Amino acid sequence: MGTLMSDILLSAFNTLFRLEGDLDNHCQAIANNRDSIQDLSKANKTYLRNQIKSFLTHENNLKQQLPLSIFHLSIYASYLHDEQIDRYIHKVFNKISGLKNKNAFIYNLVTIGFRKNISFDKPLAKIFNSFVMQFKDEYSDLTLKYDVNQNKKTILLVSSQILSANHSPTFLLLELYETLIELGFEVLIAQIQCYPPEYILPVIEPIKGNYLDTPEGLRIWDFDGKEIPVYNLAANHFKKSSLEDFLETLEKIQPGFMINVGGYNVFQEFIASYIPSLIYTTSSMLVPSPFSSLVSVFEKLSSAQIKALEDAQIDPKKYKKMVSQAAQVDSLLGKRTTSKSEFGYKAEEILLAVVSNRLDWEIGPDEIEFINKTLQIDPRIKFLLVGRCEDKLVTKIGQMCGPRAECLGPIVEIKTFLSMIDFLINTKRLGGGGAAATAIGHGTPVFSINYGDVTSLLPSEYLADNYAELLGLITCHLELDKPTRQQIAYSIFNQFPKFKDNVKSLIKALAWKHRKDRINAVNQRSQSLVN
């Protein structure tokens, strides 16, 4: 079966390389069987990689077959990437016209990196910076016409995507909102949509934005019974009238600062060129930011990340670890103990869980093998996967691991669920910080691969360099009773700083940076007059 699938894939690719037949149908056939690309032999992968490079090297292909070039590049990036991919990313991006298409290209590449744990920091920093500058040039007649120094008690709080309180970036946004209100600030929340509104480009696993179905403008949104005003801006459509309406709203309330949850948003960067802005990152991915005053990062930048920013002419000195990713938030602290029977499990069963909105990309062959080996440790173990999961993956897990590995789909009462399980397991991925912090606050220990966002939450003794070590961690702690497990989790939670202290630190740092920049600007003007 494997050989047959390889032959079918290679035949489809070869037909594409020769530009024969119905190209769309061939692309669709490859996309439908994309999971099999990673199962190809090393020789076949090398062959495909070289053929794609050759295709993308020829200018005529880029000019005359740009959609196909984009498709090939997405395969190269997702399954066949090597150190030479940067130049091909630049070549394809430079052929794409229109802000909407360029925006879609950037976000598809960002998503590939996030899903596949691949760093595209160097090319992304450059193309995002050039994209922001192009946007600012094309919309040069859009400006903010008020003095941002006059109203430092009003803050614009922005995110690219606001969903529900169970969505970690949204949860962070809401906690920031409530804390800023408590500290005496007036706050306007804005959802500035940046992910493409539909499948615009022909990539092998295309993305589009997932947003609440809400009209543009200022509306009252309900979050678990709390009514909060939110301005919804569909900036991803690049409609000038929508952008003008939002700027008019800003001129009425005149925010003196902006806090941007997440980053990587061209219109947020445009606003940051007028309003002193801080990006509160939500993952360990590098977030290029030409205009923000400060970027709060999980960990100090690596030398490669610094080089990527410098090559893109972005100042790496504004990237600082100002706060801990993990913080003590009241709503993260479990208020009651949940019995396993409430979820249909037996008291004697040992429940391990992975929680993610991206299971289809994060649970691959290595993870399935790890789940299977975990189940072999003890017959009482059940391994639960929580989040959206395609039927193909459900079937594969069932075949490889048997009925004690359960795909539960999304769970609304996720906090209650996390308080009920025995251990939360974090596989090799970039996300997962929100689920891990919630589990810890609810008395559930977390074990993780030493990679990505969760590493900054946990002491080293709960981190593993590979799945064999992770298996050992689970084995060592398997017989712990619930009070002991809770003690482990709460001891970690108690080390987290208070969330309010985090927010105070961010505001203080942003205000200090703004004052410093104003003083530098005055000194530069004075010096130029003297000269």
Predicted confidence at residue 311, as pLDDT, reads: 96
> Do 364 and 449 touch, CB atoms closer than 8 A?
no
Q: Is the pLDDT of residue 523 over 80?
A: no
Give 429-487 as a 3 state SS string.
CCCCHHHHHHHHHCCCCEEEECCCHHHHCCCHHHEECCHHHHHHHHHHHCCCCHHHHHH
Architecture of domain 331-493 in CATH?
Answer: 3-Layer(aba) Sandwich (3.40)
pLDDT-derived band at 1, boundaries 50, 70, 90: very low
Given a contact cutoff of 8 angstroms between Cβ atoms, the answer to whether 407 and 389 are in contact is: yes
| pLDDT over 60 at 100, yes or no | yes
Fold of 148-323+501-526: Rossmann fold (3.40.50)
Is 331-493 in the same CATH topology as 148-323+501-526?
A: yes
Residue range 77-94, pLDDT digits in tens: 999 999 999 999 999 999
Task: Please give the share of the chain, as a percent, with pLDDT higher than 70.
Answer: 94
User: For the residues 485-503, what does the mean pLDDT come to?
Assistant: 84
Q: How far apart are CA 354 and CA 465, in angstroms?
A: 18
Residue 176 token pair: 């920031």
Task: Report the C-alpha gap between 8 and 33 in whole angstroms.
Answer: 9
pLDDT bin (cut points 50, 70, 90) of residue 527 is low
pLDDT at 391 over 90: no
Q: Which long-range contacts (CB under 8 A, 24 or more apart) does 58-65 make?
A: 62/91, 62/92, 62/95, 63/95, 65/19
Structure tokens at 280: 């509160």
Q: What is the pLDDT of residue 526?
A: 60
Comparing 149 with 381, the larger pLDDT belongs to: 381
CB-based burial label for 142 (10 Å; 0-12, 13-18, 19+): middle
Q: How many beta carbons lie within 10 A of that of residue 144, not counting itself?
A: 16
Which pair of structure tokens corresponds to residue 375?
Answer: 């189940």
What pLDDT shows up at residue 508? 86
Three-class secondary structure assignment of 192-259: ECCCCCCCCCCCCCCCCCCCCCCCCEEEEEEECCEEEEEEEECHHHCCHHHHHHHHHHHHHHCCCEEE
Alpha helices (H) in 261-413, listed in sequence order: 266-272, 303-311, 359-362, 365-377, 391-401
Domain locations along the chain: 2-95, 148-323+501-526, 331-493
Whole-Å CA distances, 305 to 215, 272, 300, 315, 319: 38, 22, 10, 11, 10
Residue 55 has pLDDT above 60, yes or no: yes
Give residue 208's pLDDT band: very low, low, confident or very high (50, 70, 90): confident
Q: Residue 418 corresponds to which tokens in the numbers above?
A: 């996390």
Q: In the predicted model, what is the mean pLDDT of the chain?
A: 88
User: Phi/psi class of residue 98: alpha, beta or left (left: φ > 0; alpha: ψ in -120 to 50)?
Assistant: left
**Model pLDDT, residue 211:** 84
| pLDDT tens digit sequence for 104-155 | 999 999 999 988 888 899 999 999 999 999 999 999 999 988 888 887 889 9
What pLDDT, in 10s, does the model give residues 504-513? Answer: 888 888 888 8
| CA–CA dist 174, 162 (Å, integer) | 10
pLDDT, mean of residues 58-65 = 92
Reading phi first (left if > 0) and then psi (alpha if -120 to 50, else beta), residue 264 is in left
pLDDT confidence band for 333 (50 / 70 / 90): low
The whole-number pLDDT of residue 326 equals: 64
**386: confidence class by pLDDT, cuts 50, 70, 90:** very high
Dump pLDDT digits (tens) for 254-311: 999 999 998 899 999 999 999 999 999 888 889 999 999 999 888 889 999 999 999 9
At 340, give phi and psi (nearest 5°): -65, -30
